[in-house]
A = this chain, B = another copy of it.
Amino acid sequence: MRQRSNQPRRATIFDVAAEANVSRGTVSRFLNGEPYVSDSAREAIEKAIAKVGYVRNMAARNLASQRTRSVGLIVHEPHSVFLDDPNIGAILLGTNERLSEEDYQLVCLIIGSDRDSARVADFLRGGFVDGVIIVSAREYDPIALAISEIGLPAVFVGHPTTPYDIPFVGIDNRTAARDITHRLIDTGRQRIGMIAAALDRDSGTERLAGFQDALGAGFDPALVVDYPLYSHSTGVDGMRALLEREPLIDGVFAASDAIAAGAMEVLRESGRRVPVDVGIVGFDDSEWALRCQPLLSTVQQPADLLGREAASVVLDLVAGRPPANTGTLLPTEIAWRGSA
């Protein structure tokens, strides 16, 4: 068992050193891109590596260097949200891509229950990752607390309102919300409402604030309803409530695409046409936006970039470099489609 049965032994750094006629110290320096390797040595080593088919042994490297070269992606959401939210997948993809560029590995840590929460905290305390990226932390999230207690390099995707001393990468929800709301104003809508959600998170409050910014003096609190979740049913309920309060409503900013989709169904049921009678815009540019009739105008989150950027920051932190920014807001685009 010590040796994979019939397979030939894997080449080690010793084999490379022997083949290249240098010491393993030099090979190690070469592999790690350190200085003090002569051109001749470099060349010989490159050849030797190709010849013996050498690949690094991660375990040995991790053991000797006392780090794991992996970072955890913590998603603290019920499994259902993990599956639905298109942004999470894209963030994962972006993070994975950036990390693998630096030979780092992504470890998925999905917290679906409180039991998971404790397990993950233990895992982190065990030093199994060099750093973590926290997606969608709640306020006073026990995991976030544990992390800052352990002193593990970390970065948030999004921007929790509670003041952890942890850098974050997010989007400018407020500006984006303001800009897309302007679309409704510019197309001459007179009574513009909003279906807000998740006001316990920064994303929720910021989107509402941006809406208010756009409307300025014309802002009417009576035309805002809010619900806890960014869900389809929020859109259904919210639109019904809004129609009841103001049957003449002709513009709606939905805090997410799922909400917008729900709202559009209610509008259709009530005999209103989109965008002729009512203009509607969303937020996220998720699948929902493309399943609407007409297609939904919405804010595109650069979710993969969020992932990449977060990975970069955590890599800086792990390497002991101060990160370029302790808080980054990425710009958003707006996808103009048929709904407004």
Chain A contacts to B: CB under 8 angstroms: 1-4, 7, 10, 55-60, 62-63, 66, 68, 79, 82-84, 86, 89-90, 92-93, 96, 100, 105-108, 110, 119, 122, 125-128, 151, 287, 291, 304
- The answer to whether A59 and B55 touch across the interface, beta carbons within 8 angstroms, is no
Whether the Cβ atoms of B105 and A107 lie closer than 8 Å is yes
Contact status A60-B58, CB under 8 Å? no
Contact of A127 among B2, B10, B68, B90 (CB under 8 A): B10
Report the Cα distance A69→B84, complex, angstroms. Answer: 30
Question: How far, in angstroms, from A107 to B1 measured CA to CA in the complex?
Answer: 24
Roughly how many angstroms separate A3 CA and B304 CA in the complex, as a whole number? 35
Q: How far is the CA of A119 from the CA of B122 in the complex (A)?
A: 33
* Chain B residues within 8 Å of A287, by CB: 83-84, 287, 291
CB-contact partner of A96 in B57, B84, B108, under 8 A: B108
- Shortest 7 CB-CB distances between A and B: which pairs? A59-B62, A55-B126, A59-B63, A83-B89, A60-B63, A63-B63, A59-B59
Indicate if the CB atoms of A89 and B96 lie closer than 8 Å. Answer: no
Q: How many copies of the chain does the oligomer comprise?
A: 2
- A89's nearest neighbour on chain B, judged by CB, is B83
Could you list some 22 contacts between A and B, CB below 8 A? A1-B66, A2-B66, A3-B66, A10-B127, A55-B122, A55-B125, A57-B127, A58-B62, A59-B60, A59-B62, A79-B93, A79-B304, A82-B93, A83-B86, A83-B89, A83-B90, A83-B93, A84-B287, A96-B108, A100-B119, A106-B107, A107-B107
Cα separation A129 to B58 with both chains bound (whole Å)? 10
Of all chain B residues, the one with the shortest Cβ separation from A290 is: B232
Question: Which residues on B sit within 8 Å (CB–CB) of A106?
Answer: 107-108
Query: With A and B bound together, what is the CA distance between A79 and B89 in angstroms?
Result: 9
Q: Please determine whether B82 and A89 come into contact, CB atoms closer than 8 angstroms.
A: yes
Q: How far is the CB of A126 from chain B (nearest CB, A)?
A: 4
Contact between A93 and B68, CB atoms less than 8 A apart: no
Min CB distance A179 to B, Å, is: 25
Given A4-B66, A62-B62, 13 new contacts (CB under 8 A): A7-B151, A55-B122, A56-B126, A58-B62, A58-B128, A59-B59, A79-B304, A84-B86, A92-B108, A96-B108, A105-B107, A106-B107, A287-B287
Q: How far is the CA of A287 from the CA of B83 in the complex (A)?
A: 9
| Chain B proximity of A131: nearest CB distance (Å) | 13
Residues on B with beta carbons closer than 8 Å to the beta carbon of A10: 127
Hey, which chain B residues are within 8 Å of A56, CB to CB?
126
Residues of chain B contacted by A84 (CB below 8 angstroms): 86, 287
With A and B bound together, what is the CA distance between A110 and B63 in angstroms? Answer: 27
Q: Which residues of B contact A86 (CB under 8 A)?
A: 83-84
A215 CA / B37 CA spacing, docked (Å): 73
- Across-interface contacts of A66 in B (CB, < 8 A): 1-4
- Give the residue name and chain of the B residue nearest to A269 (CB): B293
Q: Which residues of B contact A125 (CB under 8 A)?
A: 55
Nearest-CB distance from A148 to chain B (Å)? 15
